[in-house]
Structure 1
Amino acid sequence: MVRRGVESTVDCTSYGNPRPVVDWYSRSNLEVPYGSSFIWQEVYFQSAYNTTNRLHLNVTQAQQGGTYECRIRINSAGPKQIHQVNIKVAPYIELGKSEVIAKMSQMYQVDCVAHGFPTPSAVWKRNGTNINHTSSIHIYTSLINATIHSQTVRLYLAIHNVVDSGVYVCEANNGDSTIAQRSLLVKVQANISLSEKAKASQLSDNFEIKCESFGFPTPTTIWLRYGNPVSSLSANHIYQLTTTNGEYTSTSLLNINLKSQGDAGDYVCQASNFKTFSTEATFSLKLGLSFLYSTLPSPFSQSQTVTCAFGGFPPPSVQWSINGQTIESSTKTPTTITNRRTQNKIESTLKVSSSIIFGPNSIVKCWVVDSSAERKSPKLVINGGELNTFANQGK
């Protein structure tokens, strides 16, 4: 048995008078060349009555195994003696890949090609147990190709449970004690599960959101706010507590005591178990709409500016009307509306530059609308430069 890349030698010695001639021939009935190559021969020893020819075998592929002949003759016309030697090539393996970074439930295929002579048999194993074509509907193998010098066995792999990650081994042998092995490392991209994806809240509410991630290697799980990690100090009104639960799972608990408008919004849970890959899931903390403040012109003039500010998340849309007519910002009308958003607040300013549509007794309204329904809003009344404010529904 010879190994690929490791030189082996076989001597053929013959005695006679006159001294015999010895030559090595390959399995293709071609004389093995003299001199240095992967497979070559040399006259290793000669005396008056004997000759030893040495066959050098530095096998690079399984096809170089097989039957070699040592042919002995006294002269070119004399009888020949032929002695055969069967050169076996120890199995060696080529894997389609050495690592798989898997997504849950997605099918992957990895070929194990076992080379050698005689033909080796190949098998995939997991934790010392053979995998065959009936092992599982998610993880199984199939014989793809077989020749006199090789056998190809394909591993089909669809991870449905993170415990199926880890090391898979392809093993090959061809009847000798020499066994070849190659390993495939199967990793699983981090996956995330949130206890809640969105929550409606009011100021002073307290709650906890659980983010659990699993994968292999075990992911690192962290909550982010505006791209920065949430504090881990429990003295803060918003903080996270991270733990590792066994070999595959980690958890981060987001604790929120809602104290201000700015605390509402999106919080991102990020799980990563590779340098170049991470998974994210967003928790949206919604805050009910509220009126914050308004500013009105005083005293009355032809050019007027009115401002309304509202809070809430998602940020609402502000609407305006004058004397029951909805106002839109346009180059065709003497009105301009400017909206400025800062975190969970929107400040909307209406500028009117015409006394035709706006006078000292005009009624100006601003209100907000979110994606679900129109909300309550104040009606702002300008009367001779004096401001009266009272609650109102709709427009």
Structure 2
Amino acid sequence: MAVRKLLVTLEDYSEAGRYTCEVTSNIAGPAKTSDIQAQAITISPTSHVFAIGDKQVFTCASYGHTVMSASPTVQWKKNGNLINSSENIYQTAENTFGDKLVRNLFITLQHISEAGEYSCEVPSASGSGVYLMRNMQVQVAANVSTSPAAPIVEFGVQQIFICTSYGFPIPQITWKRGKNNVTATVNIYQTLQEPTPIPNKVIRKLYITLW
């Protein structure tokens, strides 16, 4: 029994594809072969920071799929679920360039709920139910507002200020006076950050009583 190993470290995506092991012997007859498939998958860009209304195209490319996989499918997902196409989020048909399969995802961000983890999946050429997957993140730049906008604080009357922010990942709010964090005293203190019913939107309150 003879063994010969092939070690493959893909340094370029052109190196993906079909590799064949061929065996010959002194016995008459054709050579015996066995194939393996080296696959690779990429996403570009791997993340993007959106503001509401921004547009971006993401490209998923699968390399080395065509020989052993009869009908490979590049599929975009969000949080592990298939993407249902809409006017602002949709994926194109697959395009084949040699042994490279490409599918684009178009996103025009209209709601913060559309931010999150997106992934691209391609079935393995082995046909064993294994999928190759790459992830990318759609982020939303933090937006901040405070209320009331122009308060008048009267002596002896407690005033509540609310800082509201949304974004993905979820922003962290801290009240400051000048460059320093507000230190809790009897008459001035901030609450813990609180979630709101709206995903990725948080608030933090500051209480002030002038004595």
Match of 1:93 in 2: 41
User: Quick check: 1:218 aligned with 2:170?
Assistant: yes
Aligned CA distance change for structure 1 residues 90 and 67 (closer, same or farther; 3 Å): closer
Match of 1:122 in 2: 74
Structure 1 position 71, deviation (Å): 7.5
| CA contact 2:119–2:133 (8 Å) conserved in 1 | yes
Match of 2:109 in 1: 159
Structure 1 gaps of 5+ residues are 1-10, 12-43, 46-53, 75-79, 260-395
Aligned CA distance change for structure 1 residues 57 and 95 (closer, same or farther; 3 Å): same
Structure 2 gaps of 5+ residues are none
Where 1:222 maps in the other structure, the secondary structure is: coil
Bigger proportion of residues as strand: 1
CA distance in 2, matches of 1:106, 1:154: 17
Superposition TM-score, scaled by structure 2 size? 0.71
The match for 1:197 among 127, 143, 149 is: 149
RMSD: 3.6
Match of 1:148 in 2: 98
User: Structure 2: which amino acid aligns with 1:147?
Assistant: F
User: Quick check: 1:240 aligned with 2:211?
Assistant: no
Aligned CA distance change for structure 1 residues 217 and 204 (closer, same or farther; 3 Å): same
Aligned CA distance change for structure 1 residues 254 and 174 (closer, same or farther; 3 Å): closer
CA distance in 2, matches of 1:63, 1:90: 5
CA distance in 2, matches of 1:59, 1:89: 13
User: Structure 2: which amino acid aligns with 1:173?
Assistant: P
Where 1:197 maps in the other structure, the secondary structure is: coil
Percent identity between the two aligned chains: 26
| CA contact 2:146–2:162 (8 Å) conserved in 1 | yes
Higher relative contact order (CA 8 A, sep 6+): 2
CA distance in 1, matches of 2:181, 2:7: 62
CA distance in 2, matches of 1:207, 1:58: 67
Match of 1:138 in 2: 88
Structure 1 position 179, deviation (Å): 1.6
CA distance in 2, matches of 1:67, 1:219: 52
CA distance in 2, matches of 1:84, 1:125: 41
User: Quick check: 1:103 aligned with 2:56?
Assistant: no
CA distance in 2, matches of 1:142, 1:116: 20
Superposition TM-score, scaled by structure 1 size? 0.42
| CA contact 2:145–2:165 (8 Å) conserved in 1 | yes
Aligned CA distance change for structure 1 residues 149 and 142 (closer, same or farther; 3 Å): same
Aligned CA distance change for structure 1 residues 164 and 206 (closer, same or farther; 3 Å): same
Where 2:191 maps in the other structure, the secondary structure is: strand
User: Structure 2: which amino acid aligns with 1:104?
Assistant: I
Structure 1 position 136, deviation (Å): 2.0
CA distance in 2, matches of 1:256, 1:59: 62
Q: What is the 5 A alignment of 1:8-23?
A: none
CA distance in 2, matches of 1:211, 1:55: 62
Q: What is the 5 A alignment of 1:252-271?
A: 252-257=204-209
User: Structure 2: which amino acid aligns with 1:158?
Assistant: T
Match of 1:361 in 2: none
| CA contact 2:17–2:64 (8 Å) conserved in 1 | no
User: Structure 2: which amino acid aligns with 1:223?
Assistant: W
Structure 1 position 191, deviation (Å): 1.4
The match for 2:18 among 61, 65, 73 is: 65
| CA contact 1:167–1:183 (8 Å) conserved in 2 | yes
Q: How many positions carry a matched residue from both structures?
A: 200
Q: What is the 5 A alignment of 1:375-394?
A: none
